[in-house]
Amino acid sequence: MDFSVTTGPLLIDGHLDLAFNAGLGRELTLPLAALRRTDPVAGETATVTFSELRAAGLRVCFGTLFALPRTAQSPDGYTDHAGARQQALRQLEQYQRWEGGGHLRLLRTGEEVAAHLASEEAAPGVVLLMEGADPVRDVEDLAFWAAAGVRVIGPAWGRTRYAGGTEAPGPLTAAGRELVGAMADLGLALDASHLDDASFWDAAELHPRMIATHANSRALIAGNRHLTDDMARAIADKDGVIGLVYHSKFLQADWQDGDPRAPLSSLAAHAAHYAGLIGWNRVALGTDLDGGFGQEKCPAGVDAYRDVPASVDALPAELRAGVLGENWARWMTRYL
Ligand SMILES: [Zn+2]
């Protein structure tokens, strides 16, 4: 299938938290300069608005339903599944309102993705991804979310009722094993991005369709947020794709808040490492550029979302199109 467009390289992003940002009070329908002037979020300069996505030429992304648990940093977060479900429902309604306003188009199947890519539609297509499965009440509730358009679920973020996650080690719980099995039965793909190792390998046994929408390589950055080489190979064995995350802390070892932003060569290093393991046709983007961090933490040269297409210029020219969009396009049209 030919996904080329006349206006620039095909751009598909494996991970944006659009509705979560709206929940923070960010008005994403404003031009970026106007959003920045009115941004209620302090200290994290916004880089994503709908006009930026269009300026970049973004055609499709995974857009999250992300419920934030209560922590010291998020006192308003959820404390039980009902609270998590409420957050996700509000975000679902936000995507539907945006679709009604012509800001995006929700896509549910590989056929819809293919048709969208072949169309002249300027608004980006969004495939719903649930990041952290706590909003799913139980396996009976999965059908509701599937009908609502959710096509991919990551069982963990931090720890959830279903799985050990980032900085929260542990296997799938009994409910998690049931959930992952039911996801496979319903044809909902699994996002391994935040799974702790123990949960990852449990899930790999239970589910044939794994991707990592936004995860860099643990060979270059320590910690269970990142994929080991064996994990990357397991995803490849299931014909999966891995999206590169644009957070300096996840690009450059020992990077800390306030340090000079990581160079784009560090992004290329993660891409090349994965490619050496599993091939360039499995390396893609999952920028997460609105995922709780701002320009201060983006790689140097990425000041706003429109800078994403040029951010892979350190890669050999013949590999850029695959990483920017064609690899996700192949996976989405085949498996959604
Ligand atoms: Zn995430």
Interval 183-213: pLDDT, tens? 999 999 999 999 999 999 999 999 999 999 9
Distance 1 CA to ligand 1 centre (A): 30
Question: What is the DSSP annotation of 184-245?
Answer: HHHT-EEE-TT--HHHHHHHHHH-S-EEBSS--BTTTS-STTSB-HHHHHHHHHTT--EEEP
**How far, in Å, is the centroid of ligand 1 from the Cα of 215?**
8
Ligand 1 centroid to Cα of residue 119, in Å, is: 30
Q: How remote is the CA of residue 64 from the centroid of ligand 1, in Å?
A: 9
Tokens 């192949």, residue located = 330
How sure is the predictor about 2, in pLDDT bands with cuts at 50, 70 and 90? Answer: very low
Q: How far apart are CA 298 and CA 287, in angstroms?
A: 9
| CA torsion through residues 47, 53, 56, 60, sign | positive
Question: Which tens digits make up the pLDDT trace of 232-251?
Answer: 999 999 999 999 999 999 99
- 214 Cα to the center of ligand 1, angstroms: 7
The answer, yes or no, to whether residue 119 has pLDDT greater than 80, is yes
CA atoms of 119 and 113, how far apart (whole Å): 10
Q: How many angstroms separate the most distant Cα atoms in the chain?
A: 49
Alpha helices of the chain — where are they, by DSSP H? 18-23, 32-38, 50-56, 81-100, 110-118, 142-147, 174-186, 197-206, 229-237, 248-251, 264-278, 317-321, 327-335
Distance 95 CA to ligand 1 centre (A): 18
Q: What's the confidence (pLDDT) of residue 285?
A: 98
Q: How far apart are CA 162 and CA 142, in angstroms?
A: 13
Report CA(117)–ligand 1 centroid distance (Å).
25
Q: State the distance from the centre of ligand 1 to the C-alpha of 157, rounded, in angstroms.
A: 7
C-alpha to C-alpha distance for 38 and 25, rounded to whole angstroms = 9
For residue 3, pLDDT beyond 80: no
Predicted confidence (pLDDT) per residue in 33-49, tens digit = 999 999 999 999 999 99
**Which residue has 């995350």 as its token pair?**
245
Residue 44's Cβ-count burial label (10 Å; 0-12, 13-18, 19+) is: middle
What's the CA-to-centroid distance between 44 and ligand 1, angstroms?
Answer: 16
Instruction: List all residues 6 or more positions away from 308 whose beta carbon is below 8 Å from its beta carbon.
Output: 11, 13, 56, 58, 246, 285, 287, 289, 302
3-state class of 329 per DSSP?
helix
Of the pLDDT bands very low, low, confident and very high (cuts 50, 70, 90), residue 5 is: very low
Q: Which of 129, 125, 127, 126 is nearest to 88 (CA)?
A: 129
> 130: CA distance to ligand 1 center in Å?
10
Q: How far is the CA of 5 from the centre of ligand 1 (A)?
A: 29
Q: What is the mean pLDDT of residues 146-152?
A: 98
Sketch out the chain's domains with CATH numbers. 11-335 (3.20.20.140)
How close is the Cα of 193 to the center of ligand 1, in Å? Answer: 7
Q: State the pLDDT at residue 7.
A: 64
Distance 131 CA to ligand 1 centre (A): 7
CA of 7 to the centre of ligand 1 (A): 30
Residues 6+ apart with CB under 8 A from 123: 50, 54, 102, 103, 104, 105
Three-state DSSP class for residue 82 = helix
pTM, to two decimals: 0.97
Q: What is the dihedral of CA 147, 152, 155, 156, to 10 degrees?
A: -130
Cβ–Cβ < 8 Å for 212, 169 = no
What is the C-alpha separation between 167 and 158, in angstroms, rounded? 7
More confident residue, 74 or 28: 28
Is the pLDDT assigned to residue 290 strictly greater than 50? yes
Half-sphere exposure of 182 (CA within 13 A, CB side): 20
